[in-house]
A = this chain, B = another copy of it.
Amino acid sequence: MDTGDRLLTPGEVAALFRVDPKTVTRWAAAGRIGSIRTPGGHRRFRESEVRALLEGEGMLDEVGEVAGDRPRNAGPAATGGPPGPANAGLY
């Protein structure tokens, strides 16, 4: 069960992705990444989910998009059935 349910702060995730914390917050707002809200309104992200995203688990399209192409995001359409982030409409 303990798949490493450690919660990371926006700053931690931002450092992992080398982006601004604001961008991470936008991902959570867009439902692209699961987020746990504290009673105070701050967000916490699951280390396991962040790691999966870092590996490319978010896009199950690792084949055919490696070289000589500009794949914006051909069909994210969740056809792969991401078991986790089912939270779409946030607010």
Copy total for this chain? 2
Instruction: Provide the residues of chain B in CB contact with A3, threshold 8 Å.
Output: 77, 79-81
Q: Which residues of B contact A8 (CB under 8 A)?
A: 18
Main secondary structure of the interface of A (DSSP, over half): loop
In angstroms, Cα B88 to Cα A59, docked, is 17
In which size bucket is the chain A interface? 35 or more
Instruction: Among B44, B72, B81, point to the contact of A17 (Cβ < 8 A).
Output: B44
**8 A Cβ contacts from A60-91 to B:** 72-91
From B34, B57, B79, A76 is in contact (CB under 8 Å) with B57
Partner-B contacts on A (CB < 8 A): 1-9, 17-19, 23, 27, 30, 32-41, 44, 46, 48-49, 52-54, 56-57, 72-91
